[in-house]
Chain A
Amino acid sequence: MAIVKNDSVIEQEWITVDAEGDLPSSDENLIVPLARFKEERDSLLGRNGGLGVQLNPGDAPEDLADDLDRLSIITVNFPAYTDGRGYSYGRVLRERMGFKGELRAIGDVLRDQILYMHRCGFDSYELNVDGETALTKVRAALKEMTVYYQPTGDGRVTAQSLRERRRAALDQKAS
């Protein structure tokens, strides 16, 4: 298992807990499932360590609207690569709700989906391989395609806006 973020392999600094069971000490960085976050919100926000939330398919990212500033990380679980709900969650969190923290894809994260995840606002990827392999895969995936038709919030320039710029430049030249 390795996590790639910002073109490097990073340490796992978070403990993910499930829906029940004891929480680790107050200083640990903790990721809790959305359902648990909703139930134990106040006590979780009162802890000292960092706090993150895990979204599973079927969850509503909108439930985090009031608390985004307090979350350092949101993990989005892709239990199978074929379950694409997480792509919508990524875009809603980034483009609509303005989440600025780390957005990490976890679960069945494969090389050939990483570019799409990145385009939907994800900035870290947990892959089920060693660090070096993970880094190689992420790098390869992110540079395979360079033309983008859809405007998303990922900052990439779309083919359409490049065309418009070109047309404007040509018009200027002509006048």
Chain B
Amino acid sequence: MYRYDDFDRQLVQERTEQFREQVKRRLAGDITEEQFRPLRLMNGVYLQLHAYMLRVAIPYGTLRADQLRQLGMIARKYDKGYGHFTTRQNIQYNWPKLDEIPDALLDLANVEMHAIQTSGNCIRNTTTDQYAGAAADEIEDPRPYCELIRQWSTFHPEFTYLPRKFKIAVTGSPNDRAAVKVHDIGLRMHQNDAGETGFEVIVGGGLGRTPFVGKTVRDFIGKNDLFSYLEAILRVYNRFGRRDNKYKARIKILVHELGVEEVRRLVEEEWEQIKDGSLRVGDEEIAHYIAQFAPPAFEDLSDDDADFERHKAENRGFFNWVRSNVVAHKQPGYAIANVSLKPIGGIPGDATDTQMELVADLSEKYSFGDVRVTHEQNLVLPHVKKADLFALWTALDAAGLGTANLGYVTDIISCPGLDYCALATARSIPLSQRISERFGDLERQHDIGELKIKISGCINACGHHHVGHIGILGLDKRGKEFYQITLGGDASQDASIGKIAGAGFSEAEVVDAIESLVTKYIEIRESGERFIDTYRRVGMDPFKEVLYGDR
């Protein structure tokens, strides 16, 4: 895993001191809240409904054990004993005090972490596949490139006051687990005809009030040229992106209004002028970063482990967990273990201080001290010996972290909603809890199979509802919450934006509505079809009928 060198360390330390000064100036009244706002946002500090909120960056969702342990400590010391993992693979603390935040940032800096650019109209935390470096289906580990993007984008002097925020996601696998097609820039690693590995560059995807699946602006860019190409895209966006209307300021609107051909022309024209400049990254430098993400010292193991098989046969709970939460690893004898932060009836993505510390300990014991955060708000121990899975699950389960529901109907993405967020128009957490309880029965969940429910408490779509197989959007109608249902969304390599099924439902009705959709699916599905497959085959009408009948 990447370790800071003295340059990285110094940069974060200087930033911490800089923010301490800015907070001091604010508390002394030297700068107004309006002047302070962009400064605090650039350091991840939001003002929410009840308190300040601190959003800490977890670059490309990769954590070391000592970092996760520190996140637990920070939850205890500065918050109410928990944190919330977000769809950008970050963590949010909901109750820090402004005058203590500089100390929290110092505690983060001590474990090579920060909150830089987790907000503001700048390039945000780059996200990637949570199974990077472990997945059996991966072309190459995307994290060296993510780290290079992290450095390139950190305090980029030209791109810190963009028209709007800017999000980049990278996948090194053809099976896209990073939702790259709904990002401002999505990078999909693949090989060209010459056998070189590079990236397809997808631009202008996004959710929010105008969702779009991104469009390919260039089919292949070589690794050495990636950074100059990114700079060209950002320069075009910075210069030509709309600034007259906040809701039309994302690059997706520029792509939509100019057309992808024109955007391509502008980008290529810009790139032509900078491609041979100092942003060209040499093979040696890339190799240096690849070396930093070298695989851990795997043992030479047989892929079959008798004890593992025996435990599966003997213990139904373990069998279930393996069935849903354990994924194939590229190294024989190893597996990827997903730690669900979606206990039945719980708050999606929340983890307590002690849970974080436990997962940190377990990662040291079983996964080379490596932990991942997923954009679906779960944790991953990426490198676990099959022989250790039972012991791992036993420890997780005892701490409420052994829920066997990955990818199931209760593995819900939810934004914080009106319980915390100043922008929300409806609550999303309580609804996700009701749905989770309704479908709590494990055998039923398994029978339903993969079904991604995503809930947003407002049109900004932090809960990714547009790309939920079933999406739920909470709105406000004359002081009452109601929920709009969308169907057919998908964040994977087959990305699509869900369609609105019809009129919204009251809070009391919506869980029944979801259940009737699921019942219909079970009734009409063909063998092996997931909900999304059935929807694609039969379309909206059968589902609309169960929701609205003759209405």
Report the 6 A-B pairs with minimum CB-CB distance, sorted nearest first: A84-B161, A119-B157, A151-B278, A147-B11, A159-B7, A116-B157
Query: Inside 8 A of A148's CB, which chain B residues have their CB?
Result: 155
Instruction: Count residues on chain A whose CB falls below 8 Å from chain B CBs.
Output: 32
Stretch at the interface among B235-243, B344-352, B369-377, B439-447: B235-243
Stretch at the interface among B14-22, B174-182, B303-311, B489-497: B14-22
Q: Is the C-beta of B315 less than 8 angstroms from some C-beta in chain A?
A: no
Q: Mark A135-149, 1 if CB is under 8 A from B, else 0.
A: 000000000111111
A-B contact pairs, 22 of them (CB 8 A): A57-B243, A82-B38, A84-B161, A87-B159, A88-B239, A112-B22, A112-B38, A113-B161, A115-B157, A120-B157, A120-B158, A144-B14, A145-B11, A146-B10, A147-B8, A147-B10, A148-B155, A149-B151, A151-B279, A159-B8, A160-B151, A163-B5
The reply to whether B155 and A91 contact each other, CB–CB distance below 8 Å, is no
The reply to whether A150 and B161 contact each other, CB–CB distance below 8 Å, is no
The reply to whether A81 and B152 contact each other, CB–CB distance below 8 Å, is no
Q: Is the C-beta of B254 less than 8 angstroms from some C-beta in chain A?
A: no
Closest chain-B Cβ to A90's Cβ sits at a distance in Å of 8
Q: Is the C-beta of B328 less than 8 angstroms from some C-beta in chain A?
A: no
Query: Inside 8 A of A87's CB, which chain B residues have their CB?
Result: 157-161, 238
Q: Is the C-beta of A38 less than 8 angstroms from some C-beta in chain B?
A: no
The reply to whether A83 and B14 contact each other, CB–CB distance below 8 Å, is no
B236, closest chain A residue (CB): A88
Which chain A residues in 102-123 approach chain B with CB under 8 Å?
110, 112-113, 115-117, 119-120
Which among A57, A144, A150 has the greatest number of chain B C-beta atoms within 10 A?
A150
Query: Inside 8 A of A100's CB, which chain B residues have their CB?
Result: none
Query: Inside 8 A of A36's CB, which chain B residues have their CB?
Result: none
Having A110-B35, A115-B157, one finds 9 other A-B pairs with CB under 8 Å, namely A84-B160, A96-B273, A112-B22, A112-B38, A116-B158, A144-B18, A145-B14, A150-B155, A150-B156
Distance A116 CA – B243 CA, assembled complex (angstroms) = 20
Distance A154 CA – B206 CA, assembled complex (angstroms) = 34
Distance A164 CA – B7 CA, assembled complex (angstroms) = 12
Query: Inside 8 A of B155's CB, which chain A residues have their CB?
Result: 116, 145, 148-150
B42, closest chain A residue (CB): A112
The reply to whether A162 and B7 contact each other, CB–CB distance below 8 Å, is yes
Q: Is the C-beta of A85 less than 8 angstroms from some C-beta in chain B?
A: yes
Q: Is the C-beta of B515 less than 8 angstroms from some C-beta in chain A?
A: no
Closest chain-A Cβ to B171's Cβ sits at a distance in Å of 24
Query: Inside 8 A of A151's CB, which chain B residues have their CB?
Result: 277-279
Distance A159 CA – B150 CA, assembled complex (angstroms) = 13
Distance A83 CA – B10 CA, assembled complex (angstroms) = 29
Which chain B residues in 144-189 approach chain A with CB under 8 Å?
151-152, 154-162
The reply to whether B11 and A83 contact each other, CB–CB distance below 8 Å, is no
Query: Inside 8 A of B196's CB, which chain A residues have their CB?
Result: none
Query: Inside 8 A of B161's CB, which chain A residues have their CB?
Result: 81-84, 87, 113
Closest chain-A Cβ to B525's Cβ sits at a distance in Å of 50
Q: Is the C-beta of A152 less than 8 angstroms from some C-beta in chain B?
A: yes
Closest chain-A Cβ to B443's Cβ sits at a distance in Å of 52
A151, closest chain B residue (CB): B278
Query: Inside 8 A of B48's CB, which chain A residues have their CB?
Result: none
B17, closest chain A residue (CB): A144
The reply to whether A85 and B238 contact each other, CB–CB distance below 8 Å, is yes
| Known contacts A110-B35, A116-B157; A88/B11 CB under 8 A | no
Query: Inside 8 A of A147's CB, which chain B residues have their CB?
Result: 7-8, 10-11, 14
